Amino acid sequence: MKEIVIAQPLGITRELLESLASGLKKEGWNLTAYDKVPSGQEELGKRIEGADIAVIANYPLKKEALEKASSLKYLCVAFTGVDHVDISYCKERHIAVSNCAGYSTESVAELAFGMALSLYRMLPECGEAIRNGKTNAGLCGIELKGRKFGIIGTGAIGQRVAGLAQAFGCEVYGYSRTPKTYLVNYTDLDTLLKTCDIISIHVPLTDETRGLINKEKIALMKKDAILINTARGPVVDSKALADALKEGKIAGAGIDVFEGEPPLPADHPLLSAPHTILSPHVGFDTKEAMERRAILVFHNIENYLKGDQKNVICDAI
């Protein structure tokens, strides 16, 4: 029997899953889909040990689990980044790997912009005030119109954030290895950090971007600037960011991603940082994005089986 294993939940209804899988089942494929995340690498390895094709999302997939999957030929990562997968071992084993680029563009961009709006209008503080019988004293907000909005990484998500910023009347600046022509104000990273009121990060995690926003880079930011990170946690030095917030060196931060998946350790520096909106890695997680992702997963599997690599939706891996 040919085996496809969806090793962690895709966040869709069983009806949609069955509908998407119907064609593959007619072709003789057996589909096993788990509705809970694995407890660890040992359990994940057991889930995929008989799979010819496996699907994971953002749960780490390490060599110790992959070693058990002796039949695995294709891994579909139902996620944008693949830094949580042992790609080197997959290459060594000649396991084909693709991700699902583009499914969360809208959802991540909207969260990034929502965080900026929440910080500028002090929405968490407003909610706390009204629940505690207080007035609007000290809650005078800031308008986005006319602000300098800096985007680090102008791929699909960064471009969408740029479009939202332009719609709000912001002056958009961009920093990227591959500038896009429609963004008028491309500049170097240091100039962007020194110039912009709002800085939103949208780069993948690579050797080059790990620790990109460190103590020295944060020190370049304006005192009234805010930093948004909905990309990858290790791109930003969390301790340096927390210190800057506590010392009043920058005005605020909105953070959806961390060094590891939540729950965070109780001593994580950002948990005690002021003027900070934190969310437990929800940027990609909307009903619409989960449905788009599932469609891409089955699109990729079907095209992989046809040998149609050009139509597998992924970034270069």
Q: Report the distance separating Cα 77 and Cα 90, nearest Å.
A: 12
What tokens does 160 get?
Answer: 């969408």
User: 């350790």: which residue's tokens?
Assistant: 265
* 232 catalytic per annotation: yes
Q: Encode 28-61: b = buried (16+ Cβ within 10 Å), e = exposed.
A: ebebebbeebbeebeebbebbbbbbbbbbbbbbb
Catalytic residue among 261, 275, 291, 302: 261
Q: Report the distance separating Cα 313 and Cα 152, nearest Å.
A: 24
CB 95, CB 72: distance < 8 Å: yes
Which amino acid is located at 109 in the chain? A
**How would you class 70 by CB atoms within 10 Å of its CB: exposed for 0-12, middle for 13-18, buried for 19 or more?**
exposed
Distance, CA of 286 to chain centre: 12
Catalytic residue among 93, 275, 281, 299: 281
* 281 catalytic per annotation: yes
Q: Which of 4, 3, 19 lies closest to 294, judged by CA?
A: 19
* 177 catalytic per annotation: no
Catalytic residue among 147, 202, 232, 292: 232
Q: Report the distance separating Cα 265 and Cα 267, nearest Å.
A: 5
Q: Report the distance separating Cα 307 and Cα 73, nearest Å.
A: 13
Active-site positions read: 232, 261, 281
